[in-house]
Structure 1
Amino acid sequence: MARMPSAERRRQLTEAAIRAMTRDGVARTTTRSIAAEAGVSLSVFHYCFASKQALLESVIEAITAHYVTVVRQALRPRATVRETVRAGFGAYWDHVRERPGEHMLTYELTQYALRQPGFEHLARRQYELYCETFGELLSQLAREMDLELRVPVPVLARYLAAMTDGLTLNVLVLGDARGTAGLLDMVTEHVAALMEPAAADRRPLNSDPLPATPW
């Protein structure tokens, strides 16, 4: 077996774990089956991950990174805030359609962590990561388009995390793609309305600067 840097080996095993858990479920996936999926020995697995908690945290972070990369690329500034926000939601939803099993796995990971003694912190970390991710994306968008948010970033980030979480589960269950498009349009309008040009950009075009105060 060719030697590989430990960070790269961890990524390989994490992706193998995602495939195995998506196929077999979290509870039925073993360290042996993950090692087999990755094509490495069991000793290599234990060298890279000291515990199952460490593996699951790596899985949660990797799944989140999968769709964040896609959304971040789609969030490049467009003609309007609405078009930009809608492109971000559209990219996320394309990812859900392309990898439904991976998104189903995120809910299974949450339930597994909440029910398994000693793993509860993983569920909290999972949702904290969602909020942190949305906060980073919102801050990036505000910087690039010179926007001000009408609510604090942490509040809007948590709202978006809760909204997309519920909507994703709803559609994974009901499978209503056309209805989802309408919901995304509605959420886009709401989110775009909470963003406005920075203060300097809101001055009317025909307004003159205040005259200098005579001294």
Structure 2
Amino acid sequence: MARQSLAERRRQLTEAAIRAMTRDGVARTTTRSIAAEAGVSLSVFHYCFDSKQVLLESVIEAITEHYITVVKEAIRPRATLRETVRAGFQAYWDHVHAHPGEHMLTYELTQYALRQPGFEHLARRQYELYADTYTGLIEELGRSMDFELRVPAPTLARYLAAMTDGLTLSLLVLGKDAVPASADILDTITEHVASLVGDEPARQSTEVAGGTA
């Protein structure tokens, strides 16, 4: 068997930590149980992560990457900006619905970090990562589609992070009861976000109207 690199070992342990924490909770998950979940010795764990804080930050980054990968694939440019934005929200909603335990873990990580002395910065880092991630998505979409932001990108990014945060918690709490209304909810959110971003048809209509006045 080929020897794994440090990066590969870290990914292996991070994914094992996500599984263990999703199943047992953050507080009850130990370094020993994570090593067992990954099928490696405890010494390998300590070689890859020199503190629990470093591990938790890796977990937060990995969970974010899981759903962002899905959203990035979904927001390939479509006929209109609204269709593109709607597809992104649908992909995110579907991921939460398919992986509720993983998304529930993100809230548990936040509360754990806020309550654990010396870990508070992880909660801040978690939400900074959300905002940075949305900023990246906005910029990437802007390079492939012609639109003009009506609010600064960092403001829109933090707004999207806060909105999806609430949307996620709602689905986790309501479960299947939230699914029947999901289409209407996502349509409403899409319309609002599109109004903050602006799209090609709307801008073109304004220009035509201005030219004929």
Give TM-score, length-normalised by structure 2: 0.92
Structure 1 match to 2:104: 104
Structure 1 match to 2:57: 57
Determine the C-alpha separation between the residues in 2 that align with 1:141 and 1:185: 19
How many correspondences in the alignment? 205
Structure 2 match to 1:22: 22
Determine the C-alpha separation between the residues in 2 that align with 1:181 and 1:165: 18
Structure 2 unpaired stretches of 5+: none
8 Å CA contact retained: 2:35, 2:42: yes
Cα RMSD of the aligned pairs, angstroms, is 1.7
1:162-181 map, 5 Å = 162-175=162-175, 176-181=178-183
Name the larger-Rg structure.
1
8 Å CA contact retained: 2:113, 2:120: yes
**Greater helix fraction, Structure 1 or Structure 2:** 2
8 Å CA contact retained: 2:80, 2:199: no
Letter paired with 2:197: M
Per mean C-alpha deviation after superposition, the further-off stretch among 189-198 and 138-147 is: 189-198
8 Å CA contact retained: 2:31, 2:42: yes
Determine the C-alpha separation between the residues in 2 that align with 1:149 and 1:143: 12
Structure 2 match to 1:186: 188
SS state at 1:46 partner: helix
**What does the per-residue CA deviation read over 1:173-214, in whole Å, with 9 as the maximum and x for residues that have no partner?**
01211223211110100011122357xx74549x7xxxxxxx
Structure 1 match to 2:157: 157
Determine the C-alpha separation between the residues in 1 that align with 2:15 and 2:44: 15
Structure 1 unpaired stretches of 5+: 208-215
8 Å CA contact retained: 1:171, 1:180: no
Structure 2 match to 1:213: none
